[in-house]
Amino acid sequence: MDNLYTLSEIADKRFSNGEEIPQNIIDGVKKITSSGGFIGMAQINPIAGNVEYNAKKIAKYIKYACKIGLDMVVFPELALMGYPIEDTIDRHPIIVEENIKWLKGLAKITAGTTALVGFVEPRKKDAEGKKYFNSVAILKGGKIVGIVRKSLLPTYSEFNDYRYIEPSPVVGVQPAETLGVFDRGCESGCLKIFEKYGISICEDCWNNKEFFDKHLYEKDPIEELAAENPEIFINCSASPTRAKKEQLKHNMLSFLAHKYKTPIVYVNQVGAIDNSSFDGSSRVFGADGELIARAKSFEEQFLIVNPTKKIGKIYPLTKGLDKSLNEQKVFTLEYESDLERTYKTIVQGIRDYFKKCGFKRAVLGLSGGLDSTVCAVLLADAIGKENVFGVSMPSHITSKESKSDAEKLAHNLGINFTEASIRPMIDTTTECLDKLFKTVETKWDGRYKTSFTPDNIQARSRAMFLWGISNEFASCIPIATSDKSELYMGYATINGDMSGGFAPIADVPKTKLFAFARWMNENREEKNAIPEAIILKKPGAELAIDPKTGKPLIAEDALMPYEFLDEIIWRVENKNEGYQDLLNTEFVYEKHNTISREQKTEWLDKFFRRMSTALYKWSILPPSVIVESRSINKYDYRQPITSGKINYKGVEDEYVSGVLADE
Amino acid sequence: MDNLYTLSEIADKRFSNGEEIPQNIIDGVKKITSSGGFIGMAQINPIAGNVEYNAKKIAKYIKYACKIGLDMVVFPELALMGYPIEDTIDRHPIIVEENIKWLKGLAKITAGTTALVGFVEPRKKDAEGKKYFNSVAILKGGKIVGIVRKSLLPTYSEFNDYRYIEPSPVVGVQPAETLGVFDRGCESGCLKIFEKYGISICEDCWNNKEFFDKHLYEKDPIEELAAENPEIFINCSASPTRAKKEQLKHNMLSFLAHKYKTPIVYVNQVGAIDNSSFDGSSRVFGADGELIARAKSFEEQFLIVNPTKKIGKIYPLTKGLDKSLNEQKVFTLEYESDLERTYKTIVQGIRDYFKKCGFKRAVLGLSGGLDSTVCAVLLADAIGKENVFGVSMPSHITSKESKSDAEKLAHNLGINFTEASIRPMIDTTTECLDKLFKTVETKWDGRYKTSFTPDNIQARSRAMFLWGISNEFASCIPIATSDKSELYMGYATINGDMSGGFAPIADVPKTKLFAFARWMNENREEKNAIPEAIILKKPGAELAIDPKTGKPLIAEDALMPYEFLDEIIWRVENKNEGYQDLLNTEFVYEKHNTISREQKTEWLDKFFRRMSTALYKWSILPPSVIVESRSINKYDYRQPITSGKINYKGVEDEYVSGVLADE
């Protein structure tokens, strides 16, 4: 079957360039697929709500599928609308009407090939529950011949399906009497045709009672579908990448195929929508649970397979997607295995955010530190080096090395670079503020003896420069360079380094960034773009002088060792550990550093105190890419800002009795 | 019963001052309540996640209820945890453990009086579904004697219950075998005691199939409870105020009482948690549907009632809460009836955000314009005039009137005031940026001939001053003064006027602000604090000169008439109207202004275009108060930023066929 995939790759390239597929390719593929039983997996990258854009893309693939005589072409969940679409369909129902219009149009261009197209299905006006179903339409012979509706609606992490979607009580192709709400052309008579396929949508296949220890739902749609003995399972999905999720997905799909002795065709969305980056990696497992085919990760692809005859091609999975499940049980500094996935997740996240919003260029401050360095590399790779402008903005504290490291980096990357001193800004602002503070002081007490004002003036002056460039030059946004460790500690300046149009590394902890920088130096085409000095230096904001050393303050001295901090974050996020758990178990850091219980207590206290006051900063963080299995992205995790006074330590029973007796 | 409420008001004052309730009050109340059948409605203001704080408050009321011999004391939904608590309980399960500890402690201090206390109930580890129930514990005689669980979980607007809560299949007091998960002291034998009360939680009572045209859920818990013939319905609630919601609530509760010939006791949370402001206004309806009692709006209160004997007191409802339902069908500039509610909703929102986060003081720029003026008044009333600092920050464009209006306002309000010119900031920044832009220009094309850079430099310099004060003086946050109309148009500067620790009027449209200012002038104790000139002047940011007039640009010239804009917003939010609906129906503005179809088209185009690109700004907007029935608050409404290319106009069927034929 090598020839099929050689031809397909040529076709894919033509698709991505918007070119016609030449007749000889069509003929070549058709020769192979004409024997029947072939399915096209259309792993597409939609734009949320841009129904016309998505429909055009879908139309191209449907036409191609018809030309090469496929039995079926399968698109991801909500392919016409893009997933997630969120509350948009509630406030702007026009786009649902539009998606029906385009769906009907797409039905008309199908011929002998069946197309499965995800769309938002409006329910009857007087129906109980939410206004919409998350559905897949079965298009054939110019008509909508059947509908499948999602039953299990995720409402955790970045998912909010149940906010706007009604769960379907019926799995598989819907009974005739529920059809026809929006399309009188639906033909009830032809439903039986689809008994061959057990069709489900995304979460529907994630609730097997044998495979999972914990079940979020009572219903198991796949179990129900299996009872009807379909020849092939098909799952239309939109499942974003998260650390350590892929192995689970692989095992689960393989388990389902094997358990029900039925091949499964899983078609996933690719591309990023706001904070969620979808990896694609669509695949097919045979009836014995064996992997038959797998599409590329982080790329659009049209993969032709024959699940019954076990014809397919397994493209390599991005490293990290295949990470073993065992590793997720303990914190480790061994990030290596997840770095390729991290890289592609973020690069795709940046690229799609820019493209889908209509931005072309980015400007960022280059401090010579790790955060801005990693951001610069990612940006260069995502939107092109010519579209990135790095600005070194030294103050009186900035060292010569910082400036030269930044310049060296820019040179290595080939991005645009300039230097602009913020000293005049600092001088003027400081002078103005000194005067202002003196007036305020006549009315208000509580002026700090030492404050962060001078630090913040620097960070904000820099943001003023970057936003200035963004305002002055077309199609350009500034970049927020805050990392995850520092966001947890609130160690980021409002209207300063945490401000921007996009925050590429907001979900990457600092210790991972070090490994990430080294990985990029080794794995990018241009080796060692990041100067070694940047990776070796101790992180610090270079905003203040440490009175103890007379040198710029090192972040770890102001906070705590990053290794320790990152393990707290990991354990709180992945293991739900509380203060006492953390205090009473050994950290990786402690294996090679002796620290007193007092020191550990001090760091833990600082972590919970600073995290509590950082909640506000999380709420105003620019759009970013979710990378890890759990994040602080406001659309992934929400905690009331006013809950800052939570007692994370807990109290003793005796304390409770005492307090309540006193009230 | 006048005496009961006279004594109760004294007790309430003591409660709010943290003082003991004197014995003569207790004796006086007890004399009345000893005849039996009295219920205490404890309308409390909890802090989300601060279980100890909430438990102490609850304990005080339980002890008092015991002392005065009430049959029962009822607290709001999730009283121990505060509502909403959101994902916090998922990531930090420690606070759920804590709420169980404190619940057990509270059980111990109950004697003959029964207490209904809302809490988060952990489910069995292996249970299917979410980890928690949203429950009410029945505490009596030192023990937890029963549990009621919420069945209907709202997931619209600001509600996200189903993200972390499992709906209860059983309404009312739970069967004995489901208890004991966390408390072996639960007594299954005593469940029968509570047949007298039909207890439900918040949304559970919002699904009557006769009363509502549209039902979000299949189940109707009240119908099920009614089948057991309880003597009294009790509903523990946390229902935030939204425009025009109250009349619906009143009618619905009255309907339920009347339909089932059963009195209903509805206890609502009061106070604000982040963006949601809860109005309290707890109440009782008699078996005939008549209102018997209603607690104060926007205040903590302990209201004693006897639903069977129809003993109660009806405190006046904040005007606006009682707005008739008819008014919601069309847009109107008659805001009068909703202004008291608007005022109290925001004042409470500000006050609680500050108090619960531990802030005392606010600083804001006073431009002499309407937005900052209204914010200043609200702040003075919410946190005290001595805690507000108004700063006039004139630039070269600022008129003398703007400065003197600002000063006059500050003087009238008695807030602190100073003036600080931003001209040195503008000069330095402009100089620095000019140089920087020249360098950038050597590498990048696309420099705008006229840009917003000079406007934004002014807005950002001002924010620099305000954040400076916030950094330098303890316990102080700057205020973002953007209003709803301008946020829809993206007419607000990032890191400028839309930046701050809190945004008081982000959900108030401009035309309402005019009426609001007049209302405050008439209804605040100090009359006419707002200089008439501020209300009369045409809004404008005073950031740029209009080349046509040579005077500062008027916002309506840059945007469109606010009256027209606000009607678009209202119709999009409340009627889900799309572009064509708006174009083809008459606006209020058109009743007294002749506008061409071209003009209307231009404004509508501008609205949808600007709204699409404002999505990013909405996502980084500081915490604010939700006021209107629908808002753009990111926790109330979510639309992907990358969906900016939505075609709000829609297309013709022929267009669809044409495009798809061409692909």
Q: Which of B150, B244, B296, B484 is catalytic?
A: B150
Q: Do the Cβ atoms of A108 and B660 come within 8 Å?
A: yes
Q: Is B48 an interface residue toward A (CB < 8 Å)?
A: yes
Q: Do the Cβ atoms of B416 and A440 come within 8 Å?
A: yes
Q: Is B49 an interface residue toward A (CB < 8 Å)?
A: yes
| Dihedral Cα A581, A642, B110, B306, nearest 10 deg | -160
**Alpha carbons A319 and A335: distance in angstroms, whole number:** 11
**8 A C-beta contact, residue B292 and residue B315:** no
* pLDDT, chain B, mean: 93
Q: Would you give the distance in Å from CA A195 to the centre of its chain?
A: 35
Q: Do the Cβ atoms of B453 and A439 come within 8 Å?
A: no
**Alpha carbons A388 and A379: distance in angstroms, whole number:** 7
From residue B660, give the alpha-carbon distance in Å to each of A69, A73, A81, B657.
Answer: 19, 17, 16, 5
**How much is the average pLDDT of A24-41?**
95
The SS3 of residue A301 is strand
State the CB neighbour count (10 A cutoff) for residue A621.
23
Nearest chain A residue to B90 by CA: give it.
Answer: A576
Give pLDDT tens digits for A462-516. 999 999 999 999 999 999 999 999 999 999 999 999 999 999 999 999 999 999 9
Give pLDDT tens digits for A206-229. 999 999 988 999 999 999 999 999
Q: Is B13 an interface residue toward A (CB < 8 Å)?
A: no
Q: How many CB pairs below 8 A link A and B? A: 416
pLDDT of residue A325 exceeding 70:
no
Q: Do the Cβ atoms of A642 and B48 come within 8 Å?
A: yes
The SS3 of residue A303 is strand
Amino acid found at B566? D
Query: Concatenated DSSP letters for B84-138?
Result: --TTHHHH-THHHHHHHHHHHHHHHH--SSEEEEEEEEEPPTT-SS-SEEEEEEE
Q: Would you give the distance in Å from CA A66 to the centre of its chain?
A: 33
Q: Which residue has the higher pLDDT, B479 or B194?
A: B479
**Alpha carbons A599 and A605: distance in angstroms, whole number:** 10
**How much is the average pLDDT of B209-224?**
94
**Alpha carbons B470 and B464: distance in angstroms, whole number:** 10
Q: Do the Cβ atoms of A216 and B130 come within 8 Å?
A: yes
Band of the pLDDT at A1, cuts 50, 70, 90? confident
Proportion of chain B in helix, strand, coil states, percent, rounded to 5: 45, 15, 40
What local confidence, expressed as pLDDT, does residue A188 receive?
44
What local confidence, expressed as pLDDT, does residue A644 receive?
86
What local confidence, expressed as pLDDT, does residue B242 receive?
87
Band of the pLDDT at B327, cuts 50, 70, 90? low
Over the Cα atoms of chain B, what is R_g? 27
User: From the CA of A22, how many Å to the nearest CA of chain B?
Assistant: 15
Q: Do the Cβ atoms of B425 and A429 come within 8 Å?
A: yes
From residue B245, give the alpha-carbon distance in Å to each of B151, B308, B490, B629.
Answer: 22, 27, 28, 8
pLDDT of residue B453 exceeding 70:
yes
Q: CA B13, B358, B416: angle at the middle one, nearest 5?
A: 85
To the query of whether residue A150 is one of the catalytic residues in this protein, the response is yes
The SS3 of residue A279 is strand
Nearest chain A residue to B105 by CA: give it.
Answer: A657
What local confidence, expressed as pLDDT, does residue A663 receive?
77
Q: Does residue A84 have a cis bond before it (omega within 30 degrees)?
A: yes
Name the residue among B92, B437, B648 with its Cβ closest to that of A94: B648
Q: Is A411 an interface residue toward B (CB < 8 Å)?
A: no
Nearest chain B residue to A452 by CA: give it.
Answer: B471
**How much is the average pLDDT of B316-321?**
86
**8 A C-beta contact, residue B65 and residue B304:** no
Pair of tokens at residue A14: 């033509």
List the beta bridge partners of residue A65: none
pTM: 0.96
**Alpha carbons A307 and A284: distance in angstroms, whole number:** 7
Looking at chain A, the whole-number percentage of residues with pLDDT higher than 90 is 86
What local confidence, expressed as pLDDT, does residue A174 receive?
80
Q: CA B209, B213, B214: angle at the middle one, nearest 5?
A: 85
- Please give the ipTM for the structure prediction: 0.96
pLDDT of residue A548 exceeding 60:
yes
Q: Give B578's contacts in chain A (Cβ within 8 Å).
A: 92-94
Q: How far apart are the first and last CA of chain B?
A: 79
What local confidence, expressed as pLDDT, does residue B455 receive?
95
Q: Do the Cβ atoms of A453 and B468 come within 8 Å?
A: yes
pLDDT of residue A193 exceeding 80:
no
What's the half-sphere exposure (Cβ side, CA atoms, 13 Å) at A632? 31
pLDDT of residue B192 exceeding 50:
no
Band of the pLDDT at A145, cuts 50, 70, 90? confident
What local confidence, expressed as pLDDT, does residue B176 receive?
59
Give pLDDT tens digits for A100-144. 999 999 999 998 899 999 999 999 888 899 999 999 999 999 988
User: From the CA of A621, how many Å to the nearest CA of chain B?
Assistant: 6
A463, A650, A405, A59: which is closest to B52 by C-alpha?
A650
Name the residue among B108, B447, B475 with its Cβ closest to that of A473: B447
To the query of whether residue A202 is one of the catalytic residues in this protein, the response is yes
Band of the pLDDT at A242, cuts 50, 70, 90? confident
Provide the b/e sequence for A556-569 (b: ≥16 CB within 10 Å). Answer: beebbbbbbbbbbb
User: From the CA of A47, how many Å to the nearest CA of chain B?
Assistant: 7
Q: CA A360, A366, A371: angle at the middle one, nearest 5?
A: 95
**How much is the average pLDDT of A598-619?**
97
Give pLDDT tens digits for B145-186. 889 999 999 999 999 999 999 999 989 888 755 555 554 444
What local confidence, expressed as pLDDT, does residue B179 receive?
55
**How much is the average pLDDT of A338-342?**
94
Instruction: Out of A244-253, A594-603, B146-155, B486-495, pick the least confident.
Output: A244-253
Name the residue among B88, B433, B495 with its Cβ closest to that of A639: B88
Name the residue among B272, B467, B572 with its Cβ closest to that of A495: B467
User: DSSP state, B338?
Assistant: G
List the beta bridge partners of residue A42: A302
Give pLDDT tens digits for A49-104. 999 999 999 999 999 999 999 999 999 999 999 999 999 999 999 999 999 999 99
**Alpha carbons B512 and B508: distance in angstroms, whole number:** 7
Name the residue among B273, B474, B573 with its Cβ closest to that of A642: B273
User: DSSP state, A311?
Assistant: B
Q: Which of A150, A319, A344, A403 is catalytic?
A: A150
Q: Is B447 an interface residue toward A (CB < 8 Å)?
A: yes
Q: Do the Cβ atoms of B128 and A635 come within 8 Å?
A: no
**8 A C-beta contact, residue B106 and residue B75:** no
Name the residue among B60, B357, B389 with its Cβ closest to that of A644: B357
To the query of whether residue B202 is one of the catalytic residues in this protein, the response is yes
Band of the pLDDT at A172, cuts 50, 70, 90? confident
Q: Does residue B84 have a cis bond before it (omega within 30 degrees)?
A: yes
Looking at chain B, the whole-number percentage of residues with pLDDT higher than 90 is 86
Which secondary structure element, helix H or strand E, spans residue B183, and what is its range? none
Amino acid found at A247? Q
Give pLDDT tens digits for B508-517. 999 999 999 9
Q: Give B463's contacts in chain A (Cβ within 8 Å).
A: 495
What local confidence, expressed as pLDDT, does residue B177 receive?
57
What local confidence, expressed as pLDDT, does residue B126 receive?
82
Q: Which of B202, B236, B375, B476 is catalytic?
A: B202
Name the residue among B471, B499, B635 with its Cβ closest to that of A452: B471
A512, A514, A528: which is closest to A413 by C-alpha?
A528
What local confidence, expressed as pLDDT, does residue B185 receive?
43
User: From the CA of A79, how many Å to the nearest CA of chain B?
Assistant: 14
Which secondary structure element, helix H or strand E, spans residue A284, and what is its range? strand A283-285
What local confidence, expressed as pLDDT, does residue A501 receive?
98
What local confidence, expressed as pLDDT, does residue B188 receive?
44
Q: How many residues does chain A have?
A: 663
What local confidence, expressed as pLDDT, does residue B50 receive?
97
List the 500-519 stretch of A: residues with Cβ below 8 A of B: 501
State the CB neighbour count (10 A cutoff) for residue A169.
11
**8 A C-beta contact, residue A589 and residue A595:** yes
Band of the pLDDT at A645, cuts 50, 70, 90? confident
Give pLDDT tens digits for B601-611. 999 999 999 99
Query: Exposed, middle or buried: residue B310 (CB in 10 Å: 0-12, 13-18, 19+)?
Result: middle
pLDDT of residue B102 exceeding 80:
yes
**Alpha carbons B184 and B194: distance in angstroms, whole number:** 19
Q: How many residues does chain B have?
A: 663
Q: Give B213's contacts in chain A (Cβ within 8 Å).
A: 126
What local confidence, expressed as pLDDT, does residue B330 receive?
85
From residue B662, give the alpha-carbon distance in Å to each of A60, A298, B374.
Answer: 9, 28, 55
Q: Do the Cβ atoms of A621 and B621 come within 8 Å?
A: no
Band of the pLDDT at B547, cuts 50, 70, 90? confident
Instruction: Out of A183-197, A565-579, B300-314, B529-543, pick the least confident.
Output: A183-197
**Alpha carbons B80 and B118: distance in angstroms, whole number:** 6
Q: Give A50's contacts in chain B (Cβ within 8 Å).
A: 643, 645-647
Provide the b/e sequence for B42-65 (b: ≥16 CB within 10 Å). Answer: bbbbbbbbbbbebbbbbbbbbbbb
Band of the pLDDT at A178, cuts 50, 70, 90? low
Band of the pLDDT at B329, cuts 50, 70, 90? confident
A303, A336, A317: which is closest to A514 by C-alpha?
A336
Any residues with CB less than 8 A from the CB of B77 and at least 6 apart, and which?
Answer: B83, B118, B134, B136, B150, B201, B202, B236, B237, B238, B269
